[in-house]
Amino acid sequence: MKAVVQRVTSSEVVVDGETIGKIGKGYNVLLGVFPDDTKKDAEILAAKIAKLRIFEDEDEKMNMSILDVDGEVLAISQFTLCADIKKGNRPSFTTAAKPDYANELYEYFMEQLNIEALKQDYPYDREMIDGIMELILDVVCSKRKTICIAGDVKSVNVVKGRFMKLNMEHIRYVMNCMQENTTKIRSIKQYMLAALYNAPATIDSYYRAEVNHDMAEGKI
């Protein structure tokens, strides 16, 4: 994989007059994918970009990463980065990955960036985050016909449908629920399964309750 990283104060992508991507302070990342690139390459590149220290600290030295400054990333798939110009003057793009595979690795790259940000926010729970991601992958790739969620046997297709809707905010929500839980958890795996399955339906009410609590306490 090849990436061009540009530090920006703001950026947006406009297609046919419609804004399809927009960020504030952070990175513009042009991402090129080669046919022999793997998910491991995406993981390594995402970790490197997340930890690059090219933002100034209070002493105006480039000593802070995008995670340290709570920045955003606008990544753009760019096959021209894979151009071959060794022969002649006309670039050849046969060295770039096919669109479907390039998009798959692009999406995985973005997922890995989000995971790096999550690990920054929960530095003492890295193993738990890895466990949650492995559990999601296990469910989505499962060949079983049913999965037990909180004692209820559900069709694997129903569970997969729920898990396919999960995003990083749902993962943060589950992490918060686990941190705030005061009762003994007999099976971490079963608890996480149920929490992840219910997250899309319960996350809004959870944060509304948080806001109402803070308002009652005079915090907001």
The verdict on 190 and 130 lying in the same domain is yes
Q: Domain range for residue 60? A: 1-121
Whether the predicted pLDDT of 211 surpasses 60: no
The predicted pLDDT at position 213 comes to 56
Percent of the residues in the chain that have a pLDDT greater than 90, as a whole number: 55
- Residues 64, 52: Cα–Cα separation, whole Å: 8
CATH number for 6: 3.50.80.10
Q: Name which of 107, 132, 104, 106 is nearest 118 in CA terms.
A: 132
The verdict on 104 and 132 lying in the same domain is no
**Active site residue: 6, 38, 80, 179, which one?**
80
Confidence of residue 217 (pLDDT cuts 50, 70, 90): low
Tell me the per-residue pLDDT of 179-198, one tens digit each, with 9 for 90 and over.
888 888 888 889 889 999 99
The verdict on 59 and 39 lying in the same domain is yes
The verdict on 40 and 149 lying in the same domain is no
Is 78 catalytic? The answer is yes
Burial class (CB in 10 A: 0-12, 13-18, 19+), 102: buried
The verdict on 155 and 191 lying in the same domain is yes
Last residue of a domain, one of 69, 102, 121: 121
Strand-pair category, 146-149 with 72-77? unpaired
Six-digit token string for 152: 């209820």
The verdict on 15 and 100 lying in the same domain is yes
List Cβ neighbours of 197 (8 Å cut-off, separation of 6 or more): 149, 150, 159, 162, 163
Confidence of residue 13 (pLDDT cuts 50, 70, 90): very high
Is 34 catalytic? The answer is no
Last residue of a domain, one of 57, 86, 121: 121
Q: Tally DSSP H helices, then E strands, for the chain.
A: 6, 9
**Active site residue: 6, 9, 55, 79, which one?**
79
Is 55 catalytic? The answer is no
**Active site residue: 9, 19, 55, 78, which one?**
78
Six-digit token string for 32: 């090129």
pTM score, whole prediction: 0.74
Q: Tell me the longest C-alpha to C-alpha distance in the chain.
A: 71
Tell me the per-residue pLDDT of 151-185, one tens digit each, with 9 for 90 and over.
899 999 999 988 988 888 898 888 888 888 888 88
The verdict on 156 and 94 lying in the same domain is no
